[in-house]
Structure 1
Amino acid sequence: MRPLFTLALVLPALALTACMESPRDRLAGDTPPATVESVDLDRYAGLWFEIFRADHSFERDCDGVTAFYERQGEDRIRVINRCWQGGLDGMPDIAEGRARLPDPADTSRLEVSFFGPFYGDYWVIDLAEDYSWALISEPQGRYLWMLSRTPRPDPDLIEARLQSLRDRGFDTEGLIFPEQWDSVEAMPRTGLPDAGR
């Protein structure tokens, strides 16, 4: 397994790639995207499935992408990212990192690291009231993910999220929709703690 795999909810590569991005790489306008008012990190913890993402090198050829979050104290979160290279029958690729709250009063803006002291921004820009789905981006608007508690949410829900992003000025052309498991039960437990389902 390659230890440098990163995915949606972790964005560790942002700190390393910021200088390589140009304005034309932005998915949104020049204004940083607004975040939700607050996130209950205990409710946010647990398993999420990636439904779509903007194209970027550190998730290339990844399917069956999941993120698992576990609270570890007031302002620390354990993060486990997983994907299967080249399809659901490919090799699993797992990375473990950590997230923190740079401002404990703002729970919608986290930072995530998989590379020692390097952290990348992780902004929750939309979130279902029941915590069944979330949209993630960052201040520059170059990265974008939809996460869901189920691997195959209703297509109407997905289209509604896409339209909401377009209404906010995001370019949704070229988003990647990875292959996902048929159900939570069908998903391999590889790399997850016992309480990870």
Structure 2
Amino acid sequence: MKSVLIGIALLFAACSAWGADRLSELKTVDSVDVARYMGSWYEIAKYPQWFENGLVGVTANYTLLPNGKVRVLNSGYIKDFNGKLKTAKGKAWIVDKKTNAKLKVSFFWPFAGNYWILELGKDYEYAVVGDNSGKYLWILAREPRMDDVLYSELLKRIQEKGFDISKLEKNPQQI
């Protein structure tokens, strides 16, 4: 587990350092109500990352702390839903107080990576998260499945932002 946490931390550090401006004009959503964003999210699709290799049923849970930071708990099952549950605990903090749409996330201090909210449903039923490196992208939802029409529309918008949607992989979720 320690190696997973270290790997995530190194990944986020690399994300921040290399290719940080590939999508220099990338825009986030205009505003995020942090309290509404908290809670459980299911990973619907993602750019493959070595720290998630072999994981299914990946979820993220965000909890607002009294100091304004966010506790992050990511989890997923190894190979299948009967596999061992792996978790990674971290903290996030808002770096763009005007919109609340740009955060930093750290799983291993002092390393931190960008967490930009690029798309967000009006009822906070889905989110697209990435950053301007163009190397990291996640589609998240409050439910384990996403409507095919909505998913297709998000793919179109993601592609318009400059991301290569052919790299996206769906993550199996337990219903």
Q: Quote the Cα distance in structure 2 between the aligned partners of 1:48 and 1:132.
A: 9
Q: Quote the Cα distance in structure 1 between the aligned partners of 2:97 and 2:167.
A: 35
> What's the % identity of the aligned pairs?
33
**Which letter maps to 2:55?**
C
Which consecutive residues of structure 2, in runs of 5 or more, have no partner in the other structure? none
Aligned match of 1:14: 12
Q: Quote the Cα distance in structure 1 between the aligned partners of 2:98 and 2:3.
A: 30
Higher strand share: 2
Per-residue deviation, 1:73: 2.7
What per-residue deviation string (whole Å, max 9, x for no partner) do you get for residues 86-145 of structure 1? 121211001111001124333000000110211111000010000000000012121000
Q: Quote the Cα distance in structure 2 between the aligned partners of 1:80 and 1:4.
A: 16
Q: Contact between 2:16 and 2:113, CA under 8 Å: does it hold in 1?
A: no
Q: Contact between 1:88 and 1:179, CA under 8 Å: does it hold in 2?
A: no
Secondary structure at 2:151's aligned position in 1? Answer: helix
Secondary structure at 1:48's aligned position in 2? Answer: strand
Distance 1:178 1:97, change over 3 A: same
Runs of 4+ in 1 over 4 A off after TM superposition: none
Higher helix share: 2
Q: TM-score under structure 2 normalisation?
A: 0.89
1:1-197 alignment to 2 at 5 Å? 2-5=1-4, 12=9, 13-16=11-14, 30-73=23-66, 75-182=68-175
What per-residue deviation string (whole Å, max 9, x for no partner) do you get for residues 27-50 of structure 1? x95424210011101000000000
Q: Contact between 1:50 and 1:148, CA under 8 Å: does it hold in 2?
A: yes
Distance 1:82 1:114, change over 3 A: same
Q: TM-score under structure 1 normalisation?
A: 0.80
Distance 1:14 1:70, change over 3 A: same
